[in-house]
Chains A and B, each alone.
Chain A
Amino acid sequence: MSEQTHGRRHDEGEDVPPPEAPAEKSQTASDDFDELLDEIDSVLESNAEEFVRSFVQKGGQ
């Protein structure tokens, strides 16, 4: 049972930064974190409510 919609664009990986993205960032600026949130926005499942609802697991150990 999985009805969530997902932005196809992410499947191709274009919106995803290359793995070797520069790690040099100033630790203090909260701008950095906001930039990161913007980046995360672009990879988040597009319909949060549907996605969370569909995430149903069977129990395990």
Chain B
Amino acid sequence: MPEPEQVTPTVLGLETEYGILLADQACASPVQDGLDALHPMHLSNAVIRTYGELVRQHSTGWDYQTESPLNDQRGFEVPRGKALADQLTDVENGLANLVLTNGARLYVDHAHPEYATPEVTGPRDAVLWDRAGDLVMLQGARAASRLLGRQVRLYKNNTDGKGASYGTHENYLLSRSTPFHRVVVQLTPFLVSRGVLVGAGRVGRGQSSELPGFQITQRADFFEAEVGLETTVNRPIVNTRDEPHADASRHRRLHVITGDANQSEYATWLKVGTASLVLRLVESGGWRDVPALVDPVRAMHVLSHDPSLRATVALEDGRELTALDLQHRVLSAVREHLARHGAGPEDEEVVAAWQQVLDDLAVDPARCADRLDWVAKQQLVERYRERDGLGWDAPKLALLDLQYADIDPERSLYHALRRAGRVRTLLDDAEVERARTEPPTDTRAFFRGRCMSRFADQVVAASWDSVIFQLDRHRSWVRLPMADPLRGTRAAVGDLLDRAGDAAELLDLLGS
């Protein structure tokens, strides 16, 4: 076993837009009846604002100085006049925005409440702060429900089955020196086939569920291009937004938009863990014999539509491969890479779990009902079909699909399975509750989060790579840039943050 190289940790994060619904028909007052006319954007705003009140936090400004949603990884910039309105994400819109004490961002994006995890350095931490986001949303929804006198429900899913889709995105920091073309070519077969690991399952096929049946992923049908800058229309398998939230001369941020929102902690862990390993492989020079798909977009749809896992897709060299074949090829390339360059303990765990899931899927997908959302959901749906003699068009099956993703454990079908001991878990409730307010210690999220818990009154705005302070009413703003995601850790600034009585002292201690 060779000595592990000095590997810079992968910095990553997840962002999730939650589905939102105002429930309850029998209303006590005309005011409550009138809430049905509320735009989901404002309903989402109510969730964020009431959560802010719950944790006694004011809306925080967002510092857009370094955001560049129209920069393309391929080296050009879309002129603003040609951009779609919803690509202009760097404009203040008057809606609630909270930078949380755990370093996360909680805000309204389009017509959904969104939670973006703080930056973390490994898959298990990604799961932890992702689940913390579910808890934030649950508390926000319950508080908003009390305030409005109507139930606000949130869903961690990605489609309404009527043509609308909303995303769960992964973000991975890459080195600028990795050629983007290599990322596109080498990541595509992995992304196209990884639904078998990370799909959340869906009742209905086609963007509007126009065809009956079950498919593996929520998102596949919404992908229409191989590469591109858009995220809301003509969605590409590889997104090219070049907005690193870091030193752009050293880093890229790969914005992966193909994933499903997972309830299963295990599936989220696999999603992030496998992608991190594949990206590390690509960054270190990549692998040979990368399968070149004839039509990646169509392949993504075909593979998602076949829960039997027998469907094949064509390669340019004439071969036909299944999703499991493709995953096996990626996995063996990752193994070779780790054998040569060394693997950390969590890398080994991810590889073993990945192998086990692929083996189990090959024998019988049902074996993975304890780990994979799509299998758990499919089992539930099939059992109902059997018991109640239901056709695929039965509303009850669509309901099972939706309610699986209700974030309230009292209604969530995922949580019903979990309580019955049918799913593998990685985290306990106490650590998730802690992560709701506590930041990761090993990235700049620690600094951001601590600034919010200690000096929120003096923070006028923040962003992924900055905090802006107003030290007192008479002084102008001070912008502290944080271009390096691995600085601002507890080891580096924990002591200074503890010693500082206010933000002015903190800046003095930091030597600004």
Query: Which residues of the partner chain B approach A60 to less than 8 Å between Cβ atoms?
Result: 17, 109-112, 164-167, 232
Known contacts: A40-B413, A48-B399, A49-B395. The answer to whether A2 contacts B21 by CB under 8 A is: yes
Mark the stretch among B55-63, B281-289, B415-423, B489-497 that contacts chain A: B415-423
Q: Are B166 and A61 interface neighbours, CB within 8 A?
A: yes
B40 to A57, Cβ gap below 8 A?
Answer: yes
CB of B399 within 8 A of CB of A52, answer yes
Contacts of B420 in A (CB 8 A): 21, 23, 25, 32, 36, 39
Nearest residue, chain A, Cβ from B89: A61
**Contact status B40-A36, CB under 8 Å:** no
**Which residues of A sit under 8 angstroms from B400, Cβ to Cβ?**
44
Per-residue 0/1 for A28-61: is the Cβ within 8 Å of any B Cβ (1 yes, 0 no)? 0000111011011001110011011111111111
| A25 and B421 contacting across the interface, CB-CB below 8 Å | yes
Q: Is the CB–CB distance between A57 and B411 below 8 Å?
A: no
Partner of A61 from B231, B399, B411 at Cβ < 8 Å:
B231
- A16 to B410 Cα, complex, angstroms: 6
Which residues 1-39 in A have Cβ within 8 Å of B in the complex? 1-6, 10-11, 13, 16-17, 19, 21-25, 32-34, 36-37, 39
Asked if A61 contacts B109 (CB within 8 A), the reply is yes
Chain B stretch 150-202: residues in CB contact (< 8 A) with chain A: 151, 159-167, 169
The A-B contact count (CB < 8 A) is 129
Out of B36, B383, B402, which one reaches A52, CB within 8 Å?
Answer: B402
B383 touching A48, Cβ below 8 Å: no
Known: A52-B402, A57-B160, A61-B232. A5 touches B25 (CB 8 A): yes
Which residues of B sit under 8 angstroms from A6, Cβ to Cβ?
23-25, 151
Give Cα distance in the complex from A21 to B232, angstroms. 41
Q: Shortest CB–CB separation between residue B113 and chain A, in angstroms?
A: 10
A56 CA to B398 CA in the complex, in Å? 13
**Separation in Å of the B258 CB from the closest CB of chain A?**
12
B167 cross-chain contacts in A, Cβ below 8 A: 60-61
Residues in B with CB closer than 8 Å to A2 are: 21-25, 36
Assembly CA distance A58 to B7 (angstroms): 42
Say yes or no for B19: interface residue by CB 8 A criterion.
yes
Known A-B contacts A2-B25, A43-B411, A61-B110; A51 and B169 likewise in contact (beta carbons under 8 Å): no
B residues at A contact (CB < 8 Å): 17, 19-26, 36, 40-41, 109-112, 151, 159-167, 169, 231-232, 257, 380, 383-384, 387, 394-396, 398-400, 402-403, 409-411, 413, 416-417, 419-422
Given contacts A16-B410, A45-B411, 14 further A-B contacts (CB under 8 A): A1-B36, A2-B22, A2-B23, A11-B151, A34-B383, A36-B417, A40-B380, A48-B395, A51-B395, A52-B395, A57-B162, A60-B109, A61-B166, A61-B232
A interface, CB within 8 angstroms of B: 1-6, 10-11, 13, 16-17, 19, 21-25, 32-34, 36-37, 39-40, 43-45, 48-49, 51-61
